Structure 1
Amino acid sequence: MKTTVDISEALLREAKKLAAREGITLKALIERGLHRVIAETRQHPPFKLRRASFKGKGLSPDLQNASWEAVLDRAYEGRGS
């Protein structure tokens, strides 16, 4: 199947040099690279943060417009810091 890919000239030059050194076509080099990336992705799926929300109603009304420092102070209140 034919497709068009837009890559930087510098990357294309390097890819052509590598393909020539290895005695393969640019198409073969690109396919090899894509196969590797796909294989890596299958082995190591992207990290997904688990849902860690809790049942609540958000910030206390007195902290709705407070600074981040005020929120942190409240969070650590009574914890020795």
Structure 2
Amino acid sequence: MRIDETLLNEAKAYAAKNGRSLNSVMEDALRQLINRSIEVAERPRVELITSAAEPGFQPRVQERFDAGEKLEHIASDLFDEELRDAAC
């Protein structure tokens, strides 16, 4: 077995710093690697929600944006409209 010399030196330094043997550090690292791969394999698959919508702004937003209004102002107005609608 060959181990990258730099990695081996880092492992030795870690072991010395933590009062452990190099063997115990290597065993722990291998256990963590194996356990992590098992955990990843056992995770349930996540289905991402996708949209069929066209990219870009809604037409009324795009019109204001094309007219030179800043997006932050348009967004602020839309937020205010939603608050008014929610209050009714």
The TM-score normalised by the length of structure 1 is 0.49
Q: Which has the higher helix share?
A: 2
The TM-score normalised by the length of structure 2 is 0.47
